[in-house]
Amino acid sequence: MIRHDQVAGVCDILASRCHEAAERLAPAFGCATVAEIPMPWGKVPETSRRLVSAVAGEVVGPFVTMLDQLVTMIEHDLGPTPPSDLPLVQTARAARDLLQGLGL
């Protein structure tokens, strides 16, 4: 089961990736970035980083927690060596891989 601080860490990663993608994509949408120079996440003011992380937490935090709970339940119900050809097992494994890729 994942902890609250781990979900917060995922939200920070998501916020960073969203910021960097927005900076990169802004010109294609006719939007200007600050001084027309993309700002790396580490240079964004702390208040702004906390805001974007909080937004990511509101949007994604509950999803990450629910996904982890669902995968844990599936793994528990199907036992330690479930048949790998079941779509539910494949989905659970893909979800677990996603969570592990996020460091959870």
DSSP character for 84? Answer: T
Q: How many CB atoms lie within 10 A of CB 68?
A: 19
Mind listing the pLDDT tens digit for each residue in 45-102? Answer: 888 888 887 887 777 777 777 777 877 887 788 777 777 777 877 887 787 787 777 6
Q: Give the span between the Cα atoms of 13 and 102, in whole angstroms.
A: 8
Q: What total of structural domains would you count in the chain?
A: 1
pTM over the 0.85 mark:
no
State how far Cα 55 lies from the chain centre.
12
Query: Which domain, by its residues, includes 50?
Result: 4-101
Q: How many CB atoms lie within 10 A of CB 14?
A: 20
pLDDT at 28: 81
Distances (CA, A) of 95 to 15, 22, 45, 77, 102: 20, 26, 33, 16, 11
Q: Is-contact 84 90, C-beta < 8 A?
A: yes
Closest to 70 measured CA to CA, from 93, 101, 45: 93
